[in-house]
Amino acid sequence: MDRIQTQKITQDLTRKMVFLTGSRQVGKTSLALSLTKKIQPSLYLNYDNFEHRAQIQQMNWLPSVKFLVLDELHKMPDWKNYLKGLYDTKLEHLQILVTGSARLETFRQTGDSLAGRFFRHRLNPFSLVELQAAGELNEDSIEQLITRGGFPEPFLAQSMADANRWRLQYIDGLIRTDILDFEQIHDFKTIQLLLELLRTRIGSPLSYASLARDLACAPNTVKRYIEIFEALMIVFKVTPYHKNIGRSLLKESKVYFFDNGMVKGDDGVKFENFVAISLLKHLQAVEDYQGIRTKLSYIRTKDKKEIDFALVVDNEIESVIEVKLSDTKLSPSLLYFQKKYQFPKAIQLVKNIRNERLESSIEVRNATAFLSTLSM
């Protein structure tokens, strides 16, 4: 299945370098290799390959190469200055794609001498938008996306058993390889236990102190480990929105997983995580391709009134969304907030609903129909 960003990446390659970031095994290398077949002559080099590494360091590819893919380049010492020199002295026809995950994305947040030399594209798991574009959107594929997650290998696996086998190896690789590569941490047991705890706490406000008690470690240790999970794009935080919201919480974030198959819980919990991924992917597309700052937040007051998600665009709430598995009766919290603050758009997103409606300025929407209209 072709990825939805392929055309945009192809266009950006003619203008600047492209940085393609995303979780481990989300499909970055597959997308890059598919482009090498479309842009010829091409050269794919992976820094993990010893022979490729020597060629990268020596820059001794043929001048006729039109498309150069540098995979895992962030593992190279002083890779930023290497790329700056490569880009500033390259032949005009050479197009450069750099792929990576944690360190490449972390670097982007700090700013550097590469500013103005690249476009960033974030690759996320498959979405309903991508299934629809591929003509594969149906009830079975939707359920498969929610239960197996949108990472290519488990989603396309022949059986649920194969998907589970992949995930077991995936989690082990994250803990024993990626985390160690990212930071010199050897307390694998605590990291693994924390990951397992987070899998059961989807959509609940995070308490570092509570998690620390469960793990018998310091709250700062929990905080640091979750930051590593974020950097490796295993989880993402949804933070509380408090601008102009009376009695709102200021600190407690919620955590969701990029891989929906990692979520442990009932159908409602899995569906909420799936919606979170879909909304995040949409907002990242708005940011990456329209240049508008976005954020996925939620609203919760000290008296526990809550809305699951607030889509913040250019520092203002564009819409608020409450997620329900099958309940079509208006959420009291959503009704309260919409009456009080009159957001531009308020949506109750229901998985199992046939007839959509507008009631009290709130759209009651079919989840599949709505999520299929997002940017990505």
Please, which pLDDT band fits residue 103 given cuts at 50, 70 and 90?
A: low
Q: Which two tokens stand for residue 66?
A: 């039109």
What the chain holds in terms of domains, given with CATH numbers, is 6-123 (3.40.50.300), 128-371 (no CATH)
Position 237, amino acid? K
Q: What percent of the chain has pLDDT over 70?
A: 96
Beta carbons within 8 Å of 58's beta carbon, 6+ residues apart = none
Q: Tokens 């095994």 map to which residue?
A: 25
Q: Tokens 């907030």 map to which residue?
A: 337
Q: Tokens 């608020």 map to which residue?
A: 320
Q: CB pairs under 8 A, 24+ apart, for 35-39? A: 35/6, 35/9, 35/10, 35/67, 35/69, 35/97, 36/67, 36/69, 38/10, 39/10, 39/13, 39/66, 39/67, 39/95
Instruction: Check if the beta carbon of residue 322 is closer than 8 Å to that of residue 308.
Output: yes
Digit-coded pLDDT (tens) for 17-69: 999 999 999 999 999 999 999 999 999 999 999 999 999 999 999 999 999 99
Count of Cβ atoms closer than 10 Å to residue 250 Cβ: 8
Position 200, amino acid? T
Digit-coded pLDDT (tens) for 276-330: 999 999 999 999 999 999 999 999 988 889 999 999 999 999 999 999 999 889 9
Q: CB pairs under 8 A, 24+ apart, for 174-177? A: 174/24, 174/232, 174/234
Q: How far apart are CA 86 and CA 17, in angstroms?
A: 10
Digit-coded pLDDT (tens) for 123-171: 999 999 999 999 999 999 999 999 999 999 999 999 999 999 999 999 9
pLDDT of residue 102: 62
Q: How far apart are CA 299 and CA 336, in angstroms?
A: 12
Q: What percent of the chain has pLDDT over 90?
A: 83
Instruction: Check if the beta carbon of residue 290 is closer than 8 Å to that of residue 8.
Output: no
For residue 323, give the 3-state DSSP assignment: strand
Residue 74 has pLDDT above 90, yes or no: no
Q: How far apart are CA 217 and CA 190, in angstroms?
A: 8
Q: How far apart are CA 203 and CA 81, in angstroms?
A: 41
Phi and psi at residue 71, to the nearest 5°: -95, 140
